[in-house]
Amino acid sequence: MGTFVDPRVEQYARLLVERSLDVRAGWQVMVVATPSARLLVEELVRQIGQKGAWPLVRLSYVDQEQVPFDSLWATQAPEELLGTMAPSEARTRDELDAWLLVFGSENTRGGTILAPERRQKLRQAYVEFTRRRLTGGVPWVGCLYPTEALAQDAGMTLAEYADFVFGACLLDWEAEAERMRRYRERFDAAETVRIVGAGTDLSLSIAGRSGLVDDAHYNMPGGEFFYSPVEDSADGVIEYSEFPAVYQGAACEGVRLRFERGKVVDASATANENFLIGALDTDEGARRLGELGIGCNPGIQRHTRNTLFDEKIDGTIHLAVGAGVPMVGGLNQSAVHWDMVKDLRSAGRIELDGEVVQENGVWALS
């Protein structure tokens, strides 16, 4: 029990190997996953083998552990070790040709085994590899395999959740890319973005920055275009009242952030506020914005408590505190990259240089 056998898995794996990563002969491809995702991992291994490449599989029971069991290890290891990766692991990542992360929790709260202050230190160990990925130094993709725990978080049966996941991923990505490129071109021509919604009035600059369309090359599912805002430009308030902000197994309800000159100067949450503050205090860059993303995936219409999907909901935006994305000109450096999703579908709008381009989730652009 707990895993889902589906004939769409082969199609899904092929999309990841061929489109998302474009695996080539001779590559070393790291696959970070959980045992619950075994059926997808096995199909990925087959298809990586068919390309003449080597899979380097890392299995752990907690999602997003770059090194298996690092959360458990970090509960006991001396603090001075937490911010460094084992030398052999670091060398392996220096040699990687591609990296693939599979979410497949058996318990979506598994990461909370580690106290927030120790989690802050552990994040530092992965800064260099994260920087390499975000600068385009290694092809990468994050994806998800349906499990009972993820389905339960989403409020669905496993079969319903599998339909949801594959419905969001197995799209005509060339057609989606063309549609999103039209929207991105209008943003590229703008300087100031204003986001207005419930409890929210936030302005930021993307002057001199170009966006990227994720048409299933960086995340699976794709379905967004994104920017790194000018680092000192964010001013105003954003309130994430519709959905919890989920990060590394912790869910913060009712997050409210106030920015001045690009920096979070006031932060609160109605639940799990200590975790929020701890993440924002990880390092100097954690209180600045690293990303603005615009959700566009037509196959995602509901919140599932999984940011990989939730940030692509058509008619939402997401802002990430922490590390910027160098591929789109981002300069901010941090061990944190926490995407928080704001729903604009019922009462919200996006303005570019004072012109409304989206209202209540509906585009005013052709």
What DSSP string describes 219-263? Answer: BSS--EEEE---TT--EEEEEE-SS-EEETTEEEBSEEEEEETTE
| Residue whose token pair is 């599989």 | 57
Q: How far apart are CA 297 and CA 294, in angstroms?
A: 10
Give the 3-state secondary structure of residue 178. helix
pLDDT score recorded for residue 32: 97
Per-residue pLDDT tens over the stretch 48-77: 999 999 999 999 999 888 899 999 999 999
pLDDT score recorded for residue 192: 98
pLDDT score recorded for residue 1: 45
User: What is the percent of the chain where pLDDT is above 70?
Assistant: 98
Give the 3-state secondary structure of residue 337. strand
Range 289-315 average pLDDT: 95
**Beta bridge mates, 183:** none
What is the rounded (10 degree) CA torsion for 255, 256, 257, 258? -170
pTM of this structure: 0.86
Q: Is 52 left (phi over 0), alpha (psi -120 to 50) or beta?
A: left
Secondary structure of 51-81 as H, E, C letters: CCCEEEEEECCCCCCCCCCHHHHHHHCCHHH
Q: In whole numbers, what is the pLDDT of the chain averaged over residues? A: 94
Does the pLDDT of residue 235 top 80, yes or no? yes
- State which CATH number among 3.40.1830.10, 3.90.170.10, 3.60.110.10, 3.40.190.10 fits the domain covering 8-169: 3.40.1830.10
Domain with CATH 3.40.1830.10 in the chain: 8-169
Range 326-343 average pLDDT: 94
Does the pLDDT of residue 211 top 90, yes or no? yes
Per-residue pLDDT tens over the stretch 122-131: 988 998 898 8
Quote the tokens at residue 340: 């928080």
Quote the tokens at residue 302: 């509901």
Q: In the 8-state DSSP scheme, what is residue 153?
A: H
What is the rounded (10 degree) CA torsion for 106, 109, 110, 114? 170
